[in-house]
Every structure is written in structure tokens, then in C-alpha cells.
Structure 1
Amino acid sequence: MQYQWVLFDADETLFRFDSQGGLKSLLARYGHEMTEQCYSDFQRKNLALWEQYHQGEIDMLALQKQRFAHFGERFGVKPVALNAQFQEAMVENSPPMDGAHELLLSLKGRARLGIISNGFKALQPGRLARAGWSEFFELVVTSEEAGVAKPDPAIFHFTFDKMDQKPEKALMVGDNPHADVAGGAGVGLDTCWFNRHGNPRPDGISPTYEVGSLLELKALLA
């Protein structure tokens, strides 16, 4: 095995992120039925806020407050409390990606495994436990914990500090060509773009590997 560490993105790399199912569960808690328009309005605002967060224009607390501000007013509940309840719902709405379990089993004992996610810290333990993966990962780093988001080099250096030192040979695997591939390459990591939708490669993005499935990556690393 040529890599000491294999580092994974979480959402849409290891886990499917069914935000529609999560929001539906949250709203049902308050007796509110979710419509397609309701979800569309939420997701439009949510994605815009995540983009602002990735660009460093807002912090994680602002994201939590603003994306649930409307529902907070409607239900008389603080937006940060709604965000926490949404994270709880997402544990039930984040099934493993196809081939993820087989890939992780194939890497166990051959490389040390970690996660670098731009998501929330509270979400990770529950869904790792639900997938039966808690013992696979030595390290889980989130942008909430690091204070910066991928592709900022600081979140990778934060991760290296937790490793005690930057590994001589490590692979970053993720579905986002900018956050995961450009971000990882920017700090000297080999990278793998998990491009399951067959999207064209963005200008300036040069992953070490590109795969359409996690089983393809399993074979590549065998």
C-alpha cells in the first residue's frame, strides 16, 4: 500500500446526504407538512449560505441561524436549536454510499483512515456508529472544529497537527473538485476525485486519480 493515510470527505463521498428527508423529519416534529416548494425555498437559501461559508464570508454560527431563521420564527424555537435537531434527523438520513463499506474494509489495516468534512461536528459520531464504521477512523476533523473550511489550507494543516505531523504519503478522496481535489493538492496530497455523475473536469483541476465509483477506487488501491 503506497499511502500511509487515506483521508475522506464525508457528505456525498462516504455518506449520501438526504437533506430533503432530514428536513421533512424535522418539520414533522412541529406538525408542519413539507411541500416541494417548502424544500426548494429552504435549499436555495441553504446552498447560498454554504457557499458564503466556504468563501469565508460568514461563520458556522451565522449559517446555522440564518438557514433556520424562517422556521424559528414560525415555530417559536431558536434557529440554533432547530439546526441541532436537523443534525439529529440527518443521522437517520445519511446512508452509506454504494461501495463505501467494501472500500473501507479493504483499507483496514493497510492504511490509517481519517475524515475531513466541511459539515457539522455533532453529526459525525452518530452516523459513523450507525454505519458500523467508528473503529475504522482514527481521525475526524470538521470545519466547525478547525474554524475554516476546505479548500483553505488551514483545515488541512489543522488535520496534520492532529496527526502529529504531515504524512509523507497521503491520499485525499472527495466529490468536490475544488474543496477536496484543489484543496488537497494545494498542501501536497495526492487526490482522488469521486466523480460519480461523470461531470466534466473544471479548468485547473488535476486529480491524481478520478473514479466513478468507490468500488473502482477499491480496485485501484488493491
Structure 2
Amino acid sequence: MKQKIKHVFFDLDHTLWDFDKNSGLTFEKIFQMNCIEVGLEDFLPIYEPINFKYWKLYREEKVTKSALRYGRLKEAFDAVGVKVEDEMIHNLSDAYIDNLSTFNHLFEGTFETLDYLKDKYHLHIITNGFEEAQDKKLTASNIKQYFKTVTNSEMVGVKKPNPKIFNFALSGAKALASESVMIGDNIEADIEGAHKIGMQTIHFDYKNSDFNHGYKRITNLKMLTEHL
């Protein structure tokens, strides 16, 4: 690190909380509950890039929260050729949010890494996820107690990479950008967004894409002990 770090900010989904695994288990549960006959092996490879696309649109203020929740399911069902009525899509959308935090798999090394960092730094969360879901995830996965502050995009009214959410989080943490590092999986939202306001960054490349983007990069959380 170029300057002494005092504050460590984490993204939540895809960084500490294993979104892909937990999301797949949630779909398996709600499909069974609602007698939706589609195999996860067919649905998830279609849904995941559609979901990624909608979240990018949501970050860019091009779709609303409700449009994201409906559109990602509608488009995925259409793509796999399964007819699902709008009323059921809305029911599934609500059931997905309600049940998502009943699965709380974390990335390997999460507890060990947070235990290593907690006495050396002030730890914080900055997340674009929906407020009601993110608080449940933090609590149910038993990691909420590690964090001094949790900043959610719905609290600020903007989403990463908008500088306002990073500045809001820094203000709430009483932290200087130059003494802070942001750790996240999304280059655009987490890394470029934080870098532009003067924070140091570490990209969590959990898919091990090995793309050379010029930022510090780790492929598992335990590697943070080499940087912090």
C-alpha cells in the first residue's frame, strides 16, 4: 500500500458473500415451492448474464429497482422457453428476495481474513444491493459485527461507481480517501469508482480471469494478508 491504511471497505455480494452459490440455492428452493418446471442447469447459465446486465443498467439509473426484479426473471424465462405468467414472475421476485438470505455461504477464508484484519483496521461495507436484503445477509451469515459502518446505495440515492456513495461512506466512517482501500469484484463499480476519488483498491477476481487491468488483484481472500 502506498500510504498507511486505516480503513478497509468491502463490497458484499461476490466479494464476501458468495452470491452465485446462494442465488442458485434460492432458485432451487423457490422453483420447488411454486412448481416451476425448469432445470437449474438450463436456467442459471441464462439468468446470470441477464442479471449482470440489469444490475449495470440499475447502477446507471436506466432501470428502476422493480424493473430489475421483474425484467431479469421475465427475460430469463423467455430465453429458456418457459412460459411464466406475470403474476407468478412478481411472486417469484418477492420470494427470491425473501429467501435469499436463508442461504449464507461465504467465500473461502472470509472469517479468517476478517479476524486477521479486525484489530488492525476499521472495517466497512459499501454495497449496491437492496437494503432489506443486504442487512439480512450480513446478520444471517454472522459477519455484521465485524463492520463499523455499512453504506447502502439506497441510503445515498446513488450507486457505485458514483463518487457520492464513496464520499458518503468515507464521511460516515470518518475516513480519508488516502487512508482507505476498497476491495470488490466489479472493476467498474468497485475499483474504478473508488480509484477516481483517491482510494486505494484491490480487485477480488474470484473467477480468476487473469485480465491485466493494472490494479492490485487477488483471487482468494486470504491473499489480502499479503497486501494489508
- Per the TM superposition, whether the score is higher than 0.5 is yes
User: Deviation at 1:150?
Assistant: 1.5
Please tell me whether residue 215 in structure 1 is matched to residue 225 in structure 2: no
Query: Are the counterparts in 1 of residues 206 and 220 from structure 2 also a CA contact under 8 Å?
Result: yes
Report the CA distance shift for 1:44/1:194 in structure 2 as closer, same or farther (over 3 A).
Answer: closer
Structure 1 residue aligned with 2:62: 57
CA contact (8 A) 2:148 2:173 kept: no
Partner of 2:28: 24
CA distance, structure 2, for counterparts of residue 167 and residue 51 of structure 1: 25
Equivalent residue for 1:74?
A: 85
Output the TM-score relative to the length of structure 1: 0.84
Partner Cα distance (1:187, 1:66) in 2: 32
Question: 1:192 pairs with 165, 188, 202, which one?
Answer: 202
CA contact 1:30–1:75 (8 Å) conserved in 2: no
* 1:160–1:166 Cα contact (<8 Å) kept: yes
How many residues are treated as equivalent by the alignment? 217
**What are the Cα deviations for residues 74-103 of structure 1, in whole angstroms up to 9, with x where unaligned?**
373572x54332123221334111111111
How far, CA to CA, are the matches of 2:33 and 2:59 in structure 1?
30
1:141 aligns with: 151
Q: Deviations over 1:14-34 (max 9, x none)?
A: 011122222121222212233
Distance 1:88 1:75, change over 3 A: same
Separation in 2, partners of 1:206, 1:149: 24
2:80 counterpart residue number: none
The gaps in structure 2 that reach 5 residues or longer are 78-82
Two-structure CA RMSD over aligned residues (Å): 2.6
* One-letter code aligned to 2:87: G
Q: How does 1:85-104 map to 2 (within 5 A)?
A: 85-104=95-114
Distance 1:213 1:78 in 2: 35
CA distance in 2 between counterparts of 1:140 and 1:165 reads 13
Distance 1:44 1:217 in 2: 28
Q: Secondary structure at the match of 2:209?
A: coil
* Pair 1:15 & 2:26 matched: no
Match of 2:182 in 1: 172
Counterparts of 1:212 and 1:77, CA distance in 2:
38
| Letter of the structure 1 residue corresponding to residue 54 of structure 2 | L
- Runs of 5+ consecutive residues of structure 1 not aligned to the other structure: none
- C-alpha distance in 2 between matches for 1:157 and 1:22: 34
CA offset digits 1:148-181 (Å, max 9, x no partner): 2211212212222323564550110011222211
Residues 47, 216 of structure 1: alpha-carbon distance in 2 compared, 3 angstrom cutoff:
closer
**Counterpart amino acid of 1:172?**
M
Is 2:114 the counterpart of 1:109? no
Aligned to 2:173: 163
Aligned partners of 2:7 and 2:175 also within 8 Å: no
